[in-house]
Structure 1
C-alpha cells in the first residue's frame, strides 16, 4: 500500500502535471477543472498569521505546499519560478512587485506558542495600546511594517520568520524555511486541509484573511467569540482598523463573507455582540461555519488512493464528521492504520459478530488501534476451510441423492408412460376386435374373481349385466378392463414368441 510519503510526492507530481498541461494555454490554477485537490495539511498554528497581503499569503501557500511534499527536513527548496508563480496564481510580470511580495513575506513573523494570542504591530505595540489613528497613518507607506504583525503573550517567546532566504536565478526560485516551521509544516497533527485550488480564487484580502483564520474551526461548525479588533487587523493596517462598525461591515466584512460563500469550500455566517459589560458597542464577533458538499474532494485527496476513499465512503458509509475526525488525527491515523482497521472490521463481520454500524465500529477500531493477529487469521482460515469442506461434502451428497431420485423418478415416469400406452393400445384393440373376441375377453374378465367381479361389485352391478357393448360405459370398470386386456395381449405376445 502507498505510504503517506508516496501520497505527498504524487500530489506534487500531480500539480506539476496540471501546470504542464495548462501553462501553454495560460489557464491559471484557480480556473483548473480537476477531480483531485492540490493542497496540504496545514498546522493550526499558521492560522495565527496576520498582516499578510493577498499575494504574500499565496506566496506562503505555494512555498509551504512544496515543503509539505518532502518527508525529510531540507536546507533549501527549489522549483521552476513559473511553476511557483502558477501555484500562487501570480500572473504579473512586474519584477518590482514580486520583490515587494517577497519582502512582505520575509518581514512577517510568527510566534510559536500554546498560550493565548495578543496581536502587536511591527514596532512592538499591542494593538489595543495604539496611540491614535493619526500615529498609525504615519506608518501607512511602510510596506514592510504593514506585513510585520506577530503574536505575543508576554515578554518571552519564539518569533520565527515565515520564509528564510529567497533567491531567483535562471528561471528557478530557491527558498529556505526555518527548521522549526518545517517540522510544523511536515507534521499533520493538529492540522486542517488547505486547498490551493480554493485559496487561489480569493481576490479580496479580507475574505482570504478571515477564511484562513476560521478554517481550523470548520469541524466544530462555529468559532468562539473573537475580538472584532483582531478581525479588523487580520490583513494588516488599513482604514478598516479604525472605521465605524457600520462602515467596516458595509465595506469590508459583508463583501468578504459573500466572497467566501461564493468561491470557497465552506459557507460562513456571523453574529456580533457587545462583549464589554455596561457597553452597547459591538466589539465581538462569532462565525458559523459549514463545509459544502462538493468539498469532499479534499477527503479523497487526504488518502493515498481513490479506492481507499471509496472504501470508507461507500463500503463503510463514513459521514462528513467522521472524515473530519480522520483528517484531524492524520498524525497517527496513517493510511496503514486505516487499512488495518478496515481489515479488522471486515474480519469481525466475516466471523458473524454483532456489529450494528460498520462506520462507528471502524472509527472505534481506528481510535483503539485494533488489528487482526496473524494467529487469529489462521484460525479463521482453518475454520472457513472446514466449513467449506463440509458444505462441499453436503453438496456432493445432495447431488448424489438428487441423481438417484431423478433416476427413479425418470424410471417411474417411463413405466407409467408405458402403462398408459398399453392401456390406450388395449382399448383400441378391443374397439376394433371382432365380436367373438370381444365376448371372449369380457367373459374372462367377468369370470376373474380377483379383478373383474370385485370391480363390477364396487359399482353396485352384477356380472350378468356386463357385456361387450356396455363394459366401457363405466370409467372405473373401463380402466380396469383395459389394463386386463393389455395383460392378456402381453401373454399372447410371449406365447407367440
Structure 2
C-alpha cells in the first residue's frame, strides 16, 4: 500500500488530532453570498472569526455588572493565528489582507429563524468593520445579527480542524453546509434544486457561465468536492439525483455516513491512534537481537509488522527458557516463527475482534483487508491455466533480484514463505492499492 493511501487511511479512520469543534449557529451556516464568490480560505477565516468572537463575547458578558448597559465593541484575533487557521502559508501579507478586505464587499443573505418559527430573510455585509495591524485583526459584525451569532440555541458541531484539511473551495463550502446533518436521524440533507446547491458550493453565476449546464457543474465542481470530502474528512457523501420523472436532473440531495471510529490510546488531552509498531521499532528490535540484514529484509518485506512484533516477543521468551535447546540461527528461527506464527498472533487477533466493543485499530483493518485480497488472489491463481500461472511466476521472479525471494521452478520446493509474498504481489498488481472508499466499505462489512 502506498504511503499516500496509508495517510488517507489514517485520516479516514482515526480521531484526527487537530480536532477543533465550533458550535456554529445553523443560521450562520445557511447564508448565501449575493454579490461575489467566497473562497475556501475566506470561509475558514469566517468560521474562525465567528468562533473567537463568541468566546470573547461570553467572557465579556461575565464582566458586566447588574444594571450596566452593554456597550458596542469589536473583537480581535492574533494575526498569525488567523493566517494559520485559514491555511495561509505565504509570508506575503498583502494577499492575506486582500482576502479579508474583500469579505467587506460580500453581501450575505441570512436565513434568520424568528421566535415564531417563521423564516425572515435579511441581508448585510459579512464584516462591516475591519482593521489589520502588525499583531491583531480587529473586526465587528452588524449589531442586528449578533444575537443570532452569540445567543442562538440552534447550532451544530463543525470540526474546524478537519475543514482546514480541505484544499478545494467547493469542498470547504460543501463540508461546511452538510456536516450538520451528521446528527440528523435521516442522515440526509434537504432535497433542493441543483441550482441552489451550485450557489451554496460555488456562488452566483451569470447566464453566460458554462456552469449553467448541470453536467459541467457536476464534473468540474461537485464531484471533485465530494471526492475530497470522502478522502479527507470524517464523513462520506453519497450524491442522490432526483430527475423527477424526466431525464434531466432537477434536485440534489446528499446521504451522509460518519466514518467508523477506532480504538485509541488515552492521552492527557487528546487521543492518539494506536497503529501498532512502526518499521523503525521493528528494525531497532532486530538490531538488538543481532539479526542480519538479509533476514531483516525478508521479515519486513513479507510479514505484517504486528505479526513480527508478536513473534519477536515469542522468540525472546523461547531464548530465555532454560529447558529448551539453544537457537543456532536466530534470524532463520524468527523467519520460521513468523511463517508459521508460533506466537499465535493471528488467532489472538481474531478472538479479540470477536469479543471487542465494536471499535477497531487502523492496522487491524488494513491487515484484514490485505488478507481478504490475498485470499482472492490465491483463488484467482488456482483458476488460471498452467501457462498463465507460470507467466505470473516469471513476472514475479523478474522483479525479485535475490534467489531466496524467487519462486522455485520445482512445484514441490514451493513453500508458504515463497508463495504468500507472491500472492500478496499478485493481489497488488491485479487490483492496485485500495482506495479510501473501498476501505470504508470493507470496514462497514466487517463491523456488521
TM class by smaller structure: 0.3 to 0.5
Structure with a larger share of its residues in helix? 1
Looking at CA atoms only, which structure, 1 or 2, has the larger radius of gyration?
1
Indicate the structure whose relative CO is greater, using CA pairs within 8 Å and at least 6 residues apart: 2
**TM-score of the superposition, structure 2-length normalised?**
0.46
